[in-house]
Every structure is written in structure tokens, then in C-alpha cells.
Structure 1
Amino acid sequence: MRRVFLAKLLGLPTICNDGSFLFLKFVSECAGNEGREYVLRRILRRGVRYGREVLKAPEGFFNGLVDIVVEVMGDVFPELKKNQAKIKEIIAEEETSFSRTLVKGIEKFKKAAAEVKDGVLGAQDAFILWDTFGFPIDLTELMAEEMGLKVDKEGFNRTMEEAREKARGARGKAGGKALVMEAEATSHLQKLGVLPTDDKPKYTWHKDPTVIVKAIFTSTGFEESTADEDVGIVLDATSFYAEQGGQIYDTGVLEGPSGSFEVREAQIYAGYVLHIGSMTSDGKISVGDKVTSKVDYARRAVVAPNHTCTHLLNYALKEILGDHIDQKGSLVAPDKLRFDFSHGKPIDAKDLGKIEDIVSQQIRDGMTVYAKEASLAEAKRIMGLRAVFGEVYPDPVRVVAIGKPVDDLLADPENPNWAKMSTEFCGGTHLSNTKEAEAFALVSEEGIAKGVRRVTALTMGAAKEAIHQSELFSAQIDEASKLQGPALEKEVAHLKNILETVVIPAAKKAEFRARLGELQERIKKAQKAAAGSNLQTALNGAVASADAAVAQNQPFCVLRIDVGLDTNAVREAVTLVMDKHKALAVMIFSVDEQKNKVLVYAGVPDSAAKRGLVVLDWLRASLAPINGKGGGGKNGLAQGQGGNAAGIGEALTVAKTFATKVFGN
């Protein structure tokens, strides 16, 4: 049995040995839902199912084989020994995750297989097994083969594509673009002889080139001139950056001979840049017109720092967390940058601080940002180069290097020093020097999918403001730490509320949570100590007053002992008096001046009740001057609370008068 699993595990390194990852090292962070990551997940799930269904192995068996694999292959692949614990943890997590749906999935498969009449398991059943129970299609095919069945693979693929199209349609309705050039539209342009847009001018800032309108696209097709509605204009060349690679599009204006066209977004379809917007005047723009391409460079100037710092962040993540970091997505907008990457657990505050420090230091260092096109094959040889797995890059490809000229990297691609800097394939617009970013603040870190984390960061003025706010908040905690008692308790609660919404570096936010936690512990200790002191004060005061009342042959005792709103202390005092003096009725008032509240607790023994003193009546009458309410009555005990501390004198008088009238003395 073990040989079956070992064969699977020992054979897996070959599928990922591409010079950058080894299988089990790769599994340690990246079993996922796409590309080679999904290949790994498929193999893992096939192994788990085989162990549970065929060999009747207990849950956890599969990850238990990692030690044997490391023992056999560790000398050849030292990364296995280095990541052994992590590998076991991730495979165990995968095994546990799949096991949750495995049994029900097998039941679903058996039920569907029993209903097959033509020897072919239906596409919909296979899709449900994949979508609901996590069964890879090849696992379903294997199980079907074991029962002498086939799977409608073509139908499954169609169903998958229909599901994807439905999802894309839903996204489009939720917030999609108004104008989208599908394949039919771009094919039409090709047939007309319209060449793809030359967008190289986008890399030259602060220039307004004159370009020619080649086509005008509307919601109903192509037109010769702009209309009253939103349209998309295709130019022979453009200085506008079209949204791609995570970077937001440029905005601006196209100045024509008969009017201005506001470009609100730019998208690219099959090489054609579509400038989407509308006329800002009564004029029009027509096919063949010469227009001036005017990008809003002020807006681009706040986007570029976020893109350049995304590269610095990608490098810093790898430096601190390890080589397994793989980009999963990004957003480069005017107000922030967002980066998604492969990592199996939350990043602790210490590492978040280190990552932020690396980026901030590279900004302070004023590193030149270089960009140049190079042969794809040559560029791939550069040590430490970062690329998005699965992305198809053009040849030649644009290389962006921060700190060293691209020519230097190409001249000596295997130089280990290149791994100590940021180098990526990128077609975006960037700063010329990192110092232009001014500042960097990593403001949040979260999980968005299994094995995928997301960080959000700010640059320039927004980053400076976040850092400034963190300094102000730190000073507020310092001031709060000087407080005591209720004042400290109130301020800590206030600061906790602020901390939930304030935009500050994530590492600092974690630090502040810890500091506020320490203050809360201080509050708890103080409350515990106060409770002990309150109890002793209440007991001593109550017994002394009760003893005096009994000595004077009084049937009741009304007193004030200020221990705040410590219900436990007052209740214990009343109980102690009733235990010691069986015939004595007692009522204790405790005032909290800061909260403007009064706590009242009353106890009436059976002998006093028989004489007509009803504990609830006595309590309610006494609560009236302090605007209070109360309840109880069981076992002769009742309690209440009022919100008018100024009425305490009258309340004491009412309590004594009420009892005196009942007892008639």
C-alpha cells in the first residue's frame, strides 16, 4: 500500500522542476486552482481518494509519507529537508480539506453511476462532482473507469465554459465596461486593414502627439463619427495607457478639429486601444480626423508611484517570506496599490514591518528605474527576474529593473547580485527614480482565497498621512497609559474604536492592538483589586451599621456605602447582614458619581415581611428619587439602579420613612 503512494510522491518533482521550484517545496505554499498548482492539487486528491476508498487508509496517511520521501530524496533536493515541516502541514491541510467532501462526493458518484444506462457518466454529474465536491475531472474519469464507465468529457468541458461565461456575464452586469470589442469587432478592423494601435508613445511622458482616428465603435457597431452616447475611438497611435497588467488606464482628452473628446478610460482588445468616453462640446470627431492625444499626466503621476512600489513590494515579499512567493494578481490605481500572492498563512506584524522597511529604504535610496525591451529568451536568464506564472509575454519583452541598467543584467544574466534587486517583465508606466514615491505604507494584509494573501499599500502623500496618523495614535496611547480607573477604561474603549477604522501601517496597527491589550490587562487587574477592596469596604460598613441598629432595637438598617456599581460587593454585604441578624431588614445604597448612577440592594427576612415590609415595594419607593427601576423579590432580595445621583439624600430619607411607617416606630 505504501508503495502506491510513494510512487506518486516520488514521481511528482518532475512536473515542477523548472529551475525555480521543486515539487514539495512548491506544494509547501502553492497547491491551488490554476495551472501547475492545480496539477498538484489533482494528484494530491487522487492520492487521498485512493487511500480512503481503495486501501481503507485512515485520514492523515498521505501526509505521513512525506518523511519517507524526504529521507529518500533529501540529499538530491535539499529544499525538501529545509521545508519538511511546512510540506507536511500543507499536505495535511489539503488532505483534511478534501476529506470533508470526499465521502459525500463518493456517494454522489456512486448514485450517478448506478443510473447510467449507456455506459457514459453525464457531463452535469461530472461538473457537480468538480464544482460541489472538489473532484478533479481526471479523478472522476479514474473512478468511472474502475466501474467500466466513461465520462462525457466534451460535455463536461462545455458545461465548464458555460459556467465561466455565466460568471463573466455576472461580473459584467455588476460593474462591467459599457463598450467591449469582442472578436467579431476586432476581426472587422483587421479586414478593413486597420493595424493594431502603436502604443509606444505611452512611455514618453508630457508629450501630446498628433494621431489619426481609424475607427469609432459604439454599442451597435462602427460609425463614421462620434454620437451623443459614449463611444470608443481607435487611433493609429496613442500616448494613453490601456488598462492591463493590474495598472489602471489613463484618462485625458482627444482634441479634434471640431471639438474635444473626454477619454474616461482606455482598454485594449487584440492590440487595438479603445479610448472610451464622450464629446465635451457640440462638435464631433470623425474617422480620418487628426487629433491631439492629451493624457492627464497629473493623474498618471500618482499612479506611477504605486506601480513602481508594487515591484519593490514584490521583491520585499520574496526577501522576507521566501522564494515561493508568486504573484496572483494586482491593482495599481491612483489612490492605492494592491498585490495578491501565494502564501499559506497570515503574515505576522514583525514581517510586515520588515517588508515595509525594505520598500521604504529603496525609496530613500533614490534608485533609478530602468526599462528596455529584450529578447524573451535572454531576459528569462536574468537571475532573480520575477514574472507571473502562466502569463504569455511578447517577444521581445519589456524588462523593468530598479537599481541597475537592463543592459548590465543582460550582459551578465547569472550574476547573483541581480537576485538582490527588483527585475520584472512589465509593460506599465513607472517613475524614473524611486525617491519620487516619497513614502510607503503597507496598510492591510488579508487572505482572499486558500493559499492566497492580499496586501494593500499607499505611497506619496497618502502614505505620509498614514504614517502621521500612526504617530498621533501612538501619542494617544502614551497619554492614555497615564490614566487610572474609569478614565483609563473609557479612553481604551475609545481608542479601540478608532483603531478599527484609522488608516495606518498594518504593522503599527498590530503593535497598537498589543499595547491597548496591555492597558486592558492593567484595567482588569485594577478592577480585580478594586473588587476585593470594595467587598471588604462593603462588608465592614454593613456589619458595623447593622450591629448598631440591632443594639438600638431597630428592625431595619438603611445605609450608604460607596463602592461604585459593584453589585457583587453590595449583594454580599446584604447577605452577610441577613445571615448575622435574622430579623433585620437592610437596604444599601452605593453611588458612582462619575457615572451619575446609584446602585440599591435590599434584603427583607421572613419575620419583617410578616410584619408588612414587602421588599419590592420598599425598593421601588426608595428608587423614585433617583429615577430608578428595580426587580427581584425572591428569597427576600431585590435590587435596582437609578440615574440621578443627586437624589441620593432624598432616597435615603424615603427608604427610612417607608420602613418606619411599616414597622410603626
Structure 2
Amino acid sequence: MFPEITRNTDLIKEILCEEEESFARTLDRGERLFEQTVAKMGDSKTIPGASVWRLYDTYGFPVDLTRIMAEESGLAVDEEEFEREKQAARELSKRKKGGNAGGAGVSLDVHSIAELGDKGVAKTDDSPKYTSRSVEAKILAVVTSAGFSDSESRSLATNPDDAPAVGVLLDRTVFYAEQGGQESDSGSLVSADLSAEFTVEDVQVFGGYVLHTGFLKYGSLQVGDSVEAQYDVLRRLPIRNNHSATHVLNFALRQVLDGEEPDQRGSLVAPDRLRFDFACKAAISPEHMRDIEALTNQIIGKNLPVFAKEVSLEQARQINGLRAVFGEVYPDPVRVVSIGADLDAVLKNPESDEWTKYSIEFCGGTHVAGTADMKAFVIIEESAIAKGVRRIVAVTGAEAAKASLLHASLKAEVAKLKTLTGADLDNEIKRLTKELDSASIGVYDKHVLRTDFEAIRLAHVEAEKLAKAQAAKLAVELVQQRIEENPDQDVFVVELAVAGKAMTQVATFVKGLKTKAVYLLAVDGARVAHQCVVPKQLVSRGLKASEWAGAVSAVVGGKKGGKDESAQGSGTETGKIAEAVQAAEEFAKAHLQ
């Protein structure tokens, strides 16, 4: 049923072991913090709900387990306070989703950086960002929009929306600061005793100082405090997937676009998508897009290991096939990321042609352990952004799965069009035209769907043209027959089977006779279309087209317009067409002298 389980046994075991170890650490830490909380309670037999919520919200310690431990210790949990804290956390979450950047107005300029240096504040050690989920750190400085501060207190804010923007500098961090096209991490800084928590919404680096900006969730912080810095894993994972996919895409472009040199011109790595800009003279054909996507997915399916290592700049530049961004200044040593090729082996023989078969790049970003972590890759957009520069937008993981499911759904709907006819087919074509235009699915998949859809649409348009032409011909023949059968009759009221082109051609035919007056009516969907033609000699005898149309409009409703020799209208009372025919006949008899 699920062959990927047996194919990826080692990866599954690795993930399970990692999760077990992580939860074991959560339990150990939670138990210690639970004991610290109880020790601070004194003679009280009720654990504060705020403490219980923080154990869960910050450290992932299960609430049910807290309740069980409390019961075993003869204690109770303040459930009402717990629910209040839970609701307050939800309000804070809404604030974050609303897009209020916690770091707005907080940064370090050259004067601030110089001041930090004068004070002897060391630059941030951010090396743990590649290896750890959390790290114990010390607050070296607190920054507000007004400058440096010794502390920041939650009491400064009366509600979550008023929480002031604050920046925190640490001696070390696990947070990835926005750089190299990769968006920053988010997460939290929590005091050792759980008395304060700082929500990190944005991370930037200024002259080697990593600034964590956001807002105080509760408590207070001051310079010298120890905190646990931990990033949001659920945000980091898709960013990591998309960054590795960017490298594989860069490699695939070079392999597929024979004769081109698609040098990178920029990139964006976000949780929901990746964007890659590159030099290219012309639009990429759908077939090339298909091949680029297929090669990328092929590499993902191989579950190639990803290697990263700091190498001297001179040595790194000798690696055959290594990619770098033109114009970028790289540090020495520089971090090299390789997908599939062991860097120890690469550095032993850097000039080997073998390394051109792999993605090897300068990069300081975060990456997957193996390419299978990305799950799947779908290119959802390819466009021009400047002369000689193209842009590809793609998704991986869960977003790629959504794109594939949407494609399957649209493919089934396009296929269903072949079973429809008439108005049903016409309505579905109009609806699917809009859906296909806005659908976030694979570029090549959309190309194939559009080709199939367009063939169906054109066949429908051609069939409609033929049907309307045939209907118009039959309508003219019907009126012509009626006139030939009654040559002495001056006025004819005719109900047609269809409106539109048929009615127009009949009116043209009657005008050409110049001796007969004809009133045409037809039900056209949810309306009654009607039109009349009166020659000059009958107008002089008292039959005026505009007045004639008014008599019919009085029956079928809607609007009418015209002059003495021709008029038309559209009504909504489709059930009264027989009554309208009678009204037209009676009006003509009464007014024609």
C-alpha cells in the first residue's frame, strides 16, 4: 500500500530516533521545571495556570502529563487561569499572522555597531544554527527604536497589539539571520525559570551582530540574563527544503538548457516557495520546463546526502563545476554545500570532471540532510523580469503535494468537458478558463491542460458557429415560406426556435423585401428576445415599430428601444411568449389602416 515505507526505512528510523530523543529531552526538562514551579509555591496546593501553559506553549510539555504529575503530588491546576493564558496566546498568534513585524524600527546602524565594539561586546557566535535546535545563551544588549536599553518589561505594553518592538543581542544563537536570499527563522527566547519569554519574529545580522527582533510575551529581560534560544522547527523545515531545492534547480537548469549559461541573478527562499532568477536570453519551452522539473525530482528521489564544510576560498575555487553568484563577495574560509558528492573526496581531487555531475555551491544557508526530505518539486511559474533575466517560482514538500492534487482535480474536470454539450459545456468552459488562469500547478502540467482545454473549447466554438448558422438558415426559410404561402398578408408574427444570429438574419431578409412587416420572438435562455421590422409604406399606414415593441414589452417585461421602421427588446417573462405573440398580432390589426 505504501512502498515508500520500505524504500526509506533508514530515513524513517532516523526521524523516529530523532523525535524520541527530542521528546525525551522535553520530558527531562519539563520535569525539572515542574519541580522548580512546585518548589516556589510554598504551602499552596494549586499550580498557577500560567506556569502550566508556559510548560506546554514554550517547551511542548504535555498538559495532561502536568495534570497527572500534579495529582500524584496532591496538587491541583488552576484551570481558569490556564484557559485565560491559552486565550491570550491565541491573541498573540493573531497579531503575528496579521503581519505586524516585531522588528519594525529596530536595527543597528554604523554608530550602534561602533558603540558595541567600544563596550567590548563580542560579535554573535551563530555556528550552532547548523547543528542545534536550541542553545543556552546570554543577553549582551537590548535594543529599542530609541537605542540601547538595560531591560525591557512586559508592563510597557497594555495589550499584545501595543507590545513595543525590541531587539535582543546574544552571545550565541541558533537562529538563522536573513541573508543569501533565505528568510530568517522565528522562535523564542525563554528565561531559565520560565518567568519571561521573548517572541522572535525577525532576525537580521549587522556587522557580525545577530539582532533578534520581536516583542516580550511576558515577564522582563535585562542584559546579563541567561535564556534558551530556540527556533520554530515548523518554519525552518520548509525553508530548509526550499533552499536545497534551489541548489538542485540551479544544477538542473545547467544540465537541461544546453548551450545556455543560466548564471544566478538572485533568489528568495521562503517557507511556502522558492524563487530563482537567472540569466537566459529567451523563454524556456514547456518541454524544457518538464525536463528541468523531472531531473530535480529524480535527484530528490535518489535521497542523495547533503554535505557542508568550511573551506579556504582559494581551495574552494579550484573545485570543478562549483557555482557562485557573480559579483558576490565571499568570506575566507567559505562554506561549501555539496549535494551527493562527499566534500572530503572532492577536496582531494578538486579539478576532476566528476564533480560537474553534482550540485556544489558556496552557501551559508540551512539545508536538508538528504534530498528525499524535500518530498517533491513543482515549478509553478516561469516568467521574464528583465531583459535577459528569467524567474522560476517553485514549491516543495506539502505545497508541491497541494499543487499535484489540484492538477489531478483540474485534469479530471477538463476530461469531463468531453461529456457535456450545449449550455452546460459553455458554462463549464467559462468557469474553467478562470480556474486554469489562477491555478498554482506545475508550469508544464498547466501547458498540457491548456492544450487539451483549448482543443475542446475551439471544437465547441466551431460547433456553436455551425449550429447558429444552421438555425439562422432554417429561420429565414421558415419566414420566407410563411410569406410565400400568404402573399397578400402584410404583417407576420413569428416565434423562432432560437434568437441571436438567426433573428438578425431574418430581420435582414425582411428589410430586403421592403413590403412586409414582421415581428420575431424567441426564448433565449432566461429572457425573451424580440425584434420587429416595418417598411415605410406600412409606417405611413399607422404601424410604427417602436410602438409595436412597446406592446410586446408590456407583456414580457424588460426594456425596448428603436424607431419607426425597426425596434427590439428583451424581457424576462419567458412563460408569457404565447401571450406576447397574441399581443403583437392584435396591436398590428388595431393600428394598421
Question: Taking structure 1 as the reference length, what is the TM-score of the superposition?
Answer: 0.69
Displacement after TM superposition at 1:543 (Å):
0.7
**Contact (CA 8 Å) 1:549, 1:557: kept in 2 or not?**
no
> CA separation in 2, counterparts of 1:196 and 1:571?
82
Do structure 1's residue 589 and structure 2's residue 525 form an aligned pair?
no
**Aligned residue number for residue 197 of structure 1:** 124
Displacement after TM superposition at 1:466 (Å):
0.7
> Match of 2:254, as an amino acid?
K
> Match of 1:586, as an amino acid?
V
**Aligned residue number for residue 555 of structure 1:** 490
> CA separation in 2, counterparts of 1:186 and 1:525?
71
Q: 1:232 to 1:579 in 2, by over 3 A?
A: closer
**Aligned residue number for residue 475 of structure 1:** 412
**Contact (CA 8 Å) 1:247, 1:307: kept in 2 or not?**
yes
**Aligned residue number for residue 186 of structure 2:** 251
1:187 pairs, out of 89, 114, 117, with 114
Q: Residue deviations 1:184-237, cap 9 Å, x none?
A: 11111222222211111111133x222222222222222222344322221121
1:613 pairs, out of 543, 553, 562, with 543
2:340 pairs, out of 380, 399, 403, with 403
> CA separation in 2, counterparts of 1:468 and 1:419?
35
> Match of 1:376, as an amino acid?
L
Displacement after TM superposition at 1:629 (Å):
2.4
| SS of equivalent to 2:440 | coil
> CA separation in 2, counterparts of 1:491 and 1:512?
15
**Aligned residue number for residue 302 of structure 1:** 238
**Aligned residue number for residue 291 of structure 2:** 354
> CA separation in 2, counterparts of 1:305 and 1:278?
28
> Match of 1:630, as an amino acid?
K
1:652 pairs, out of 562, 581, 585, with 581
- Equivalences for residues 211-230 of structure 1 within 5 A: 211-227=137-153, 228=156, 229-230=164-165
Q: Residue deviations 1:420-440, cap 9 Å, x none?
A: 221111111111011111111
Displacement after TM superposition at 1:176 (Å):
8.4
2:397 pairs, out of 447, 460, 463, with 460
2:272 pairs, out of 303, 325, 335, with 335
> Match of 2:499, as an amino acid?
L
Displacement after TM superposition at 1:254 (Å):
1.5
**Aligned residue number for residue 555 of structure 2:** 625
| SS of equivalent to 1:280 | strand
**Contact (CA 8 Å) 1:546, 1:577: kept in 2 or not?**
no
> Match of 1:591, as an amino acid?
V
Q: Residue deviations 1:573-609, cap 9 Å, x none?
A: 23334544x43211122223xx122222211122211
> CA separation in 1, counterparts of 2:104 and 2:384?
27
**Contact (CA 8 Å) 1:545, 1:559: kept in 2 or not?**
no
**Contact (CA 8 Å) 1:212, 1:291: kept in 2 or not?**
yes
**Contact (CA 8 Å) 1:253, 1:262: kept in 2 or not?**
yes
**Contact (CA 8 Å) 1:374, 1:396: kept in 2 or not?**
yes
Aligned residue pairs total 482
| SS of equivalent to 2:124 | coil
1:446 pairs, out of 370, 383, 392, with 383
Displacement after TM superposition at 1:177 (Å):
4.1
| SS of equivalent to 1:266 | strand
| SS of equivalent to 2:221 | coil
**Contact (CA 8 Å) 1:344, 1:452: kept in 2 or not?**
yes
Q: 1:175 to 1:246 in 2, by over 3 A?
A: farther
Displacement after TM superposition at 1:175 (Å):
12
> Match of 1:301, as an amino acid?
L
1:291 pairs, out of 227, 234, 238, with 227
> CA separation in 2, counterparts of 1:224 and 1:483?
72
> Match of 1:645, as an amino acid?
T
> CA separation in 2, counterparts of 1:239 and 1:430?
14
Do structure 1's residue 236 and structure 2's residue 192 form an aligned pair?
no
Q: 1:175 to 1:189 in 2, by over 3 A?
A: closer
**Aligned residue number for residue 87 of structure 1:** none
| SS of equivalent to 1:392 | coil
| SS of equivalent to 1:427 | coil
> CA separation in 2, counterparts of 1:558 and 1:287?
94
Q: Which runs of 5 or more residues in structure 2 are unaligned?
A: 1-99, 157-163
Displacement after TM superposition at 1:614 (Å):
0.7
**Contact (CA 8 Å) 1:466, 1:503: kept in 2 or not?**
yes
Q: CA-atom RMSD, angstroms? A: 2.1
Alignment identity in percent?
Answer: 38
> CA separation in 1, counterparts of 2:542 and 2:180?
85
> Match of 2:181, as an amino acid?
G
Displacement after TM superposition at 1:642 (Å):
2.2
Do structure 1's residue 321 and structure 2's residue 321 form an aligned pair?
no
> CA separation in 1, counterparts of 2:217 and 2:231?
16
**Contact (CA 8 Å) 1:549, 1:556: kept in 2 or not?**
no
Displacement after TM superposition at 1:307 (Å):
0.8
| SS of equivalent to 2:151 | coil
Q: Which runs of 5 or more residues in structure 1 are unaligned?
A: 1-172
Question: Taking structure 2 as the reference length, what is the TM-score of the superposition?
Answer: 0.78
